[in-house]
Amino acid sequence: MNLLLIGLNHKTAPVEVRECLAPPPEELPAALRRIMALEGVREAMLVSTCNRVEVLAACEGDPQRCAEEISRWLCTGRGLAPEQVEPCLYHHQDREAVRHLFRVASSLDSLVVGEPQILGQIKQAFRAAAEAGATHTVLNRLLHKTFQVAKRVRSETDIGGAAVSISYAAVELARKIFDDLSGLTALLVGAGEMAELAAEHLLGHGVSRLLVANRTLERALELARGLGRGRGEAHPLEDLAELLPRADIVITSTGSPRPILGPETVRPALRARRGRPVFFIDIAVPRDVDPAVGQIDGCFLYDIDDLAQVVEANRAARRQAARQAEGIVAEEVVKFEQWLRSLEVVPTISALVHKAEDIRRAELARTLRQLGPLSPEQQTALDNLTRALVKKLLHDPIMFLKASAHDKSPETKRSHLALVRRIFRLGEDEPRTLAAPASRAAGRGKE
């Protein structure tokens, strides 16, 4: 059994190619069926996100032929010419396929290293493949190991503990000021992409309500609706002075050419708040908040340069954490590769054990007929004796096969498997001489 991983991502393909390859969620079961119908594919999973489309498959037969089939499937029927897709594809086999999957799940291959979303997306892809009946022994074991590796990376490194986007850094700073954001109200001044990202992070960290003030009310309404029922409230920018007293956190990101918040607006809001502090995060360029606001007691003001310094320091921390994570991934790849190699000898070990057990049962039955009536205790003692003998006799050949599983030379492994199967005549008809003594003994038992 060979593992193949073929796909493309944000590093190898532009968005116009990625979006053509990504199937809509409702078409995923049909896509999995088509992959499973490809020559040599025995198990499969399809990972499809905005940044990557990858096919993971366990294949039998010629891995090169199987890889060609998967690549051809990825390159056709997507509204693009195959020559537009083929140069974007990467191919990983066995150890490198496992390493790639572990790195992706651990967010070492993400657009933003350490972002947690990709692990959930892989779990969702695995769930869909399992529900479609496309995963069995190999991929089930591989994906559960993948989740363990990702969890180990998260728990043993700080790869996800430092904000590396401006919006996320703003929320992390707010957490340092307030410690716990649960139950707080945030005001977003401006409703662009930065505000939208900040809203997601704020809600994810427990903020209970978001006020959105924007020059265009329609855009504020659109953003507020996207936050979920009852969680967002849209207002025109003219309501800013009335909204400030309600806000514990204010994030500004408008395109105004001059400050829209100054001391004359903020001081009345602070008096109305009766001493409760306000955290201002100004991520606009030019700035939305007059620097003088930061001098007012009870106001904490950070601008985009402050956040950029936080982000850069955190990126350095994540790079260090990523180096630690790569070591964990390398270690776990070796462990899984050892298990994968062992699969090749499992059928031979199973055949050997089954043959020995068949012989043991037949010989035990013959002996019991010869001895005549025995007590249950005596029969159990004989059964235990024969089991122990078989177990001890098979121990060395089984250990020999297991050691062969880890041999790096495929030729050596195949020759060892062939040798054991030949010595014990596995998969062949039983030699006639095995039956003769039993027949004669049975005859003597009737005399």
β-bridge pairing 2-9 and 52-59? antiparallel
For 379, the token pair is: 């029969």
Residue type, 282: D
Q: Alpha-carbon torsion 276, 161, 139, 3, what sign? A: positive
Cβ distance 160 to 107 under 8 Å? yes
DSSP letter assigned to residue 238: G
From the candidates 20, 50, 75, 88, give the one annotated as an active-site residue.
Answer: 50
**Count of other CB atoms within 10 angstroms of residue 19:** 13
Which strands sit side by side in the sheet containing 249-252, from one edge to the other?
232-236, 209-214, 185-189, 249-252, 278-282, 299-303
Concerning whether 50 is annotated as a catalytic residue, the answer is: yes
- Whether omega for the bond prior to residue 410 falls within 30 degrees of 0, making it cis, is no
Amino acid occupying residue 147: F
Distances (CA, A) of 22 to 51, 54, 57, 101, 350: 10, 9, 17, 18, 42
The torsion defined by the Cα of 379, 381, 385 and 387, in degrees rounded to 10, comes to 70
Amino acid present at 19? E
Question: Which tokens sit at 293?
Answer: 């606001």
Helix axes 117-131, 28-36, angle to 10 degrees: 60
Residue 68: which residues within 8 A CB-CB, separation 6 or more?
none
Active-site positions read: 50
